Amino acid sequence: MEAAKDPPESGKRRGAVTVVFLAALPLLLLVFLFANRAASIAADTQLWTQVKQQSPPRNASSGRDRLLGGLLSPDFDGPSCRSRYEGSERWKPSPFPVSSHLVRKLREYEAHHRRCGPGTAAYRAARAQLLSGRNGDRGECRYVVWLPIQGLGNRMLGLVSTFLYAVLTGRVLLVHEPAEMEALFCEPFPGTSWLLPPSGFPSLDRGFWSSCPESYASMLESNVIGYDYDDDGGGKNASAMLPAYVYLHLENMDLRLQNHTFCEEDHRALDRFNWMVLRSDSYFAVALFLVPAYRDQLGRMFPAKGAVFHHLGRYLLHPGNRAWGVVRRFFDGYLAGADERLGVQVRVVPQSHTPFEAMYDRIQRCARENGLLPQVTDEPFAGVVNGTANGSKARTKAVLLVSLKPEYYERLHGTYYANATVSGEVVTVYQPSHDGDQRTESRAHNERALAEIFLLSYCDEMVTTGWSTFGYVAHALAGVRPWLLVPQDWSKARDDDVACVRPASVEPCLHSPPSLVCRGGGGGKGLDDPVARVPFLRHCEDVGFGLKLVD
Tell me, what's the pLDDT at 390?
55
Residue 344: beta bridge partners?
Answer: 401, 463
Is residue 215 pLDDT above 50, yes or no? yes
Span 391-410, average pLDDT: 91
The closest of 171, 153, 163 to 188, measured between CA atoms, is: 163
| pLDDT (0 to 100) of residue 182 | 96
Together in a domain, 474 and 404: yes
| pLDDT score for 394 | 87
Within-domain flag for 308: yes
Would residue 1 count as lying in a domain?
A: no
160 vs 3, more confident:
160
Over 197-221, what HEC string results?
CCCCCCCCCCCCCCCCCCEHHHHHH
Helix, strand or coil, per DSSP, at residue 142: strand
Q: Of all residues in the chain, what percent are helix, strand and coil, respectively (each to 5)?
A: 40, 15, 45
- Res 449: pLDDT: 96
Both 229 and 122 in one domain: the answer is yes
- Please indicate, yes or no, whether residues 181 and 270 belong to a single structural domain of this protein: yes
Q: What is the pLDDT of residues 24-53, one digit of tens each?
A: 444 444 444 444 444 445 444 444 444 444
Name the pLDDT band for 389 (thresholds 50, 70, 90).
low
Judgement on whether residues 119 and 255 belong to the same structural domain of the protein: yes
Question: Which pLDDT score, from 0 to 100, does residue 265 have?
Answer: 87
Q: What is the arithmetic mean of pLDDT over 439-457?
A: 94
Range in 42-46, 191-195, 348-352 with the lowest mean pLDDT: 42-46
Clarify whether residues 331 and 229 are in a common domain.
no
Q: If pLDDT is split at 50, 70 and 90, which confidence band does 20 have?
A: very low
- Distance, in Å, from the CA atom of 52 to the CA atom of 218, rounded to the nearest integer, reads 61
Query: pLDDT over 70 for what percent of the chain?
Result: 77
The pLDDT of residue 217: 86
d(CA 139, CA 5): 71
What was the pLDDT predicted at 282?
93
Give domain status of residue 472, yes or no. yes
Tell me: pLDDT of 116 over 70.
yes
Range from 64-68, 106-110, 117-121 carrying the lowest mean pLDDT: 64-68
My answer on whether 261 and 406 are in the same domain is no
Specify if 19 maps to a domain: no
Asked whether residue 256 falls in the same domain as residue 133, the answer is yes
Pair 296, 369 in one domain: no
- Mark whether 240 and 385 lie in a shared domain: no
The domain spanning residue 481 has which CATH number? Answer: 3.40.50.11350
Of the listed ranges 65-79, 142-156, 199-213, 512-526, the least confidently predicted one is 512-526
Higher-confidence residue of 48 and 347: namely 347
Residue 93 within a domain: no
pLDDT above 80: residue 322: yes
pLDDT tier, 326 (very low <50, low <70, confident <90, very high otherwise): very high
pLDDT of 57 over the 60 cut: no
The total domain count for the chain is 2
3-class secondary structure for 272-310?
Answer: CCCEEEEEECCCCHHHHCCCHHHHHHHHHHCCCHHHHHH
Q: Is the pLDDT of residue 391 over 60?
A: no
* Strands, E assignment, 107-195: 142-147, 171-175
Of the residues 316, 337, 356, which one is the last residue of a structural domain?
A: 316
Residues 115 and 228 in one domain: yes
- Angle at CA of residue 164, ends 142 and 343, nearest 5°: 145
Q: Which of 289, 316, 343 is the last residue of a domain?
A: 316
Query: Alpha-carbon torsion 14, 19, 24, 25, what sign?
Result: positive
Instruction: Kindly state the average pLDDT of the residues 226-236.
Output: 57
Its domain, for residue 189, covers 100-316
pLDDT of residue 255: 55
Under the banding of pLDDT at 50, 70 and 90, the label for residue 498 is confident
Co-location of 215 and 343 in the same domain = no
Looking at residue 522, what is its pLDDT? 45
Q: Note the pLDDT of residue 58.
A: 46
Please check whether residue 459 lies inside any domain of the structure: yes
Regarding whether 355 and 209 lie in a shared domain, the answer is no
What pLDDT score does 363 carry? 96
Mean pLDDT of 252-263: 59
Residue 86 has pLDDT above 60, yes or no: yes
Give the pLDDT mean for 81-103: 94
In a domain, 152, yes or no: yes
- Give the model confidence (pLDDT) of 289-312 as tens digits: 999 999 999 999 999 999 999 999
What is the distance between the alpha carbons of residues 232 and 226, in angstroms, rounded to a whole number?
Answer: 15
Predicted local distance difference test score (pLDDT) of residue 509: 97
Backbone φ and ψ of 295, nearest 5°? -65, -35
Yes or no: say if 327 and 457 are a contact pair by the CB < 8 Å rule: no
Q: Per-residue pLDDT for 169 more than 60?
A: yes
In a domain, 43, yes or no: no
- In the listed set 316, 337, 358, which residue is the last one of a domain according to the structure? 316
The set of residues, in sequence order, having a beta carbon less than 8 Å from that of 146 and lying 6+ positions away, is 158, 159, 162, 173, 174, 175, 176, 278, 279
Q: How confident is the prediction for the chain on average, in pLDDT?
A: 84
Q: Please give the full DSSP string across 397-441, using - where no structure is assigned.
A: EEEEEEESSSHHHHHHHHHHHHEEETT--EEEEE-----SS--TT
Give the model's pLDDT for residue 433.
Answer: 85
